[in-house]
Chains A and B, each alone.
Chain A
Amino acid sequence: MSEDTYRVKVGLAEMLKGGVIMDVTNAEQARIAEDAGAVAVMALERVPADIRAQGGVARMASPKKIREIMDAVSIPVMAKVRIGHFVEAQVLEALGVDFIDESEVLTPADEEHHIDKHQFKVPFVCGARDLGEALRRIGEGAAMIRTKGEAGSGNIVEAVRHLRSVMGAIRRLTVLPKEELMAESKRLGAPYELVRWVAEHGKLPVPNFAAGGIATPADAALCMQLGAESVFVGSGIFKSEDPAARARAIVKATTHYNDPKIILEASEELGEAMPGLDVSKLAKEELLQTRGW
């Protein structure tokens, strides 16, 4: 895989900064998302809240469904594959999706290894709960990192925890003396070269987005103020009372994340948000964020 290909992959991630990527399950939802100002859509069979409620094995969406969504909109279309399922990824690349999410929201196909993402021309985004996990995924070729949060919960607490963890660990690296970086790399379980890069630049080498539990305009702005460069909204839009209005409001709050007056405007007359779950009451085996290694 050439260096040019990697630059082009990270380049698309750069273009999505400051925007909102929305989960959609059909062409009609995709058009609503595009009209509301989404920078991309994530094509899914079921949104995370329904995957959580219905259980069973969650797999890549059917190619027919993804193609229907690709035909409906002109913005980039992403789709999810199971962790480690490189053949699902080959199928999505052949289909021509613009970004692949190797996602803990689907049932993992491999409990030890993630996909070697360098083998693909299509860029990948992966979830991370901390800096070590983020750098392992980047080492495997991810062109974008997102927090895992707790998908389908409508609860922002885990995304905040993961963002703070990643941003805090980055800040810590920037003040460590050079001779401590190798031990730090061992502690993080992250490639040494990437640890050095982060220590020198004070940021991840790829865009860093937030995901998992974003349900309101204020949630989106909170993630942006904490250092995320864009947000993914999964169940938060199409599980709410008025999806089009909520989608527009979250887009507005993401662009103006530092302007409380506009976040206030965006928060008014929105109808009910999706119902939320108390993540601390979820059983261990119900957590999606612990998938990934």
Chain B
Amino acid sequence: MRIGVLAIQGDFAAHGRVLERLGVRWCEVRYPEQLEELSGLIIPGGESTTMLKFLFDEGFIEPLKQYARRGALLGTCAGAILLAREVTNPPQPSLNLVDIAVKRNAYGRQVDSFIDTTMSPALGPPPLEMVFIRAPIITGVGSGVEVLAEHRGHPVLVQQGSHVIATFHPELTSDTRVHELFLALADRRSE
């Protein structure tokens, strides 16, 4: 099983540290051809506008769509925005790989960023700690999307097939359950 973290910019190293804690080898992904060898790809937090521009300019869009048909994906915060079907505030193109609509910077600016906990029925106890930084809100989910955790009435952790989306940053906490879920999906895909 080979795991990659998209390393255009953002907190890719924080994801790497979680993977290392779980004993998983990983690589930084900066070229589309690297996707061919992966069974799991993480799109980290960062600035979605910056990453989107890079993905278009460097010919990543089609290879990513092809990759998504066979490999596992974990998108956190900016990653959630890139993988969504529809993006608002302001509208921007997205990969349409997970059937969700998201609103960018939906809690406000940085002074409105926060940390909170929620119980995820899917993950079980203890409660999940969630770091929201200029986070998006999921405003709509398609019928094939399973909601794994909610916060203030909005889905914050969802899954569609082998693709997992978190609007918060599991990579900035010591709770590794979201990554473990993703790794289990990637493992199944690598068989």
Closest chain A CB from B35 CB (angstroms): 16
15 CB-based A-B contacts, threshold 8 Å: A4-B114, A8-B133, A14-B11, A15-B10, A16-B47, A18-B9, A39-B50, A74-B89, A74-B90, A74-B105, A99-B110, A251-B54, A254-B9, A255-B8, A259-B30
**CB neighbours of B47 from chain A (8 A):** 15-16, 19, 39-40, 75-76
**CB neighbours of A40 from chain B (8 A):** 47
**CB neighbours of B57 from chain A (8 A):** 252
Q: Which residues of A121-156 are within 8 A (CB) of B?
A: 121-123
Interface string of A4-33 (1 = CB under 8 A from B): 100110011011111100000000000000
Closest 3 CB pairs between A and B?
A18-B9, A98-B110, A19-B9
**CB neighbours of A123 from chain B (8 A):** 110
**CB neighbours of B14 from chain A (8 A):** 14
Say yes or no: A7 contacts B30, CB within 8 Å: no
Say yes or no: B110 contacts A122, CB within 8 Å: yes
Closest chain B CB from A101 CB (angstroms): 14
Say yes or no: B10 contacts A17, CB within 8 Å: yes
Known: A15-B45, A36-B53, A252-B57. 5 other contacts (CB 8 A): A19-B50, A74-B105, A96-B108, A98-B110, A251-B54
Contact partner of A17 among B13, B111, B114, CB < 8 A?
B13
Is B109 located at the chain interface by the 8 A CB criterion? Answer: yes
Interface residue ranges, A against B (CB under 8 Å): 4, 7-8, 11-12, 14-19, 34-40, 74-76, 93, 96-99, 121-123, 230, 251-252, 254-256, 259
Say yes or no: A18 contacts B8, CB within 8 Å: yes
Number of A-B residue pairs, CB cutoff 8 Å, is 105
Closest chain A CB from B12 CB (angstroms): 7
**CB neighbours of B111 from chain A (8 A):** 93, 96, 98, 121-122
Contact partner of B131 among A7, A74, A251, A259, CB < 8 A?
A7
A11 to B110: give the CA distance in the assembly, Å: 10
**CB neighbours of A93 from chain B (8 A):** 111
Query: What residue in chain A is nearest B105 (Cβ atoms)?
Result: A74
A38 to B188: give the CA distance in the assembly, Å: 37
Closest chain B CB from A93 CB (angstroms): 7
Contact partner of B172 among A7, A19, A34, A230, CB < 8 A?
A7
Given contacts A15-B47, A19-B50, A98-B109, contact A39 B115 (CB under 8 A): no
A148 to B115: give the CA distance in the assembly, Å: 32
Q: How many residues of B contact A (CB 8 A)?
A: 35
A40 to B78: give the CA distance in the assembly, Å: 14
**CB neighbours of B45 from chain A (8 A):** 14-15
Say yes or no: B30 contacts A255, CB within 8 Å: yes
Say yes or no: B131 contacts A37, CB within 8 Å: no
A8 to B128: give the CA distance in the assembly, Å: 16
Consensus secondary structure, chain B interface: loop
Interface residue ranges, B against A (CB under 8 Å): 7-14, 30, 45-47, 49-50, 53-54, 57, 77-78, 89-90, 104-105, 108-111, 113-115, 131, 133-134, 169, 172
A39 to B30: give the CA distance in the assembly, Å: 17
Contact partner of B115 among A8, A37, A254, CB < 8 A?
A8
A96 to B14: give the CA distance in the assembly, Å: 27
Query: What residue in chain A is nearest B173 (Cβ atoms)?
Result: A7
Closest chain B CB from A64 CB (angstroms): 17
Query: What residue in chain B is nearest A251 (Cβ atoms)?
Result: B50
A11 to B105: give the CA distance in the assembly, Å: 15
Query: What residue in chain B is nearest A11 (Cβ atoms)?
Result: B133
A40 to B111: give the CA distance in the assembly, Å: 16
A38 to B46: give the CA distance in the assembly, Å: 11
**CB neighbours of A76 from chain B (8 A):** 47, 110, 134
**CB neighbours of A99 from chain B (8 A):** 110
Say yes or no: B113 contacts A11, CB within 8 Å: yes
Most chain A CB inside 10 Å of its own CB: which residue of B7, B77, B109: B109
Contact partner of A39 among B9, B12, B108, B131, CB < 8 A?
B9
Contact partner of B53 among A4, A37, A97, A230, CB < 8 A?
A37
A37 to B58: give the CA distance in the assembly, Å: 13
A122 to B111: give the CA distance in the assembly, Å: 6
Query: What residue in chain A is nearest B7 (Cβ atoms)?
Result: A18
Say yes or no: A15 contacts B50, CB within 8 Å: no
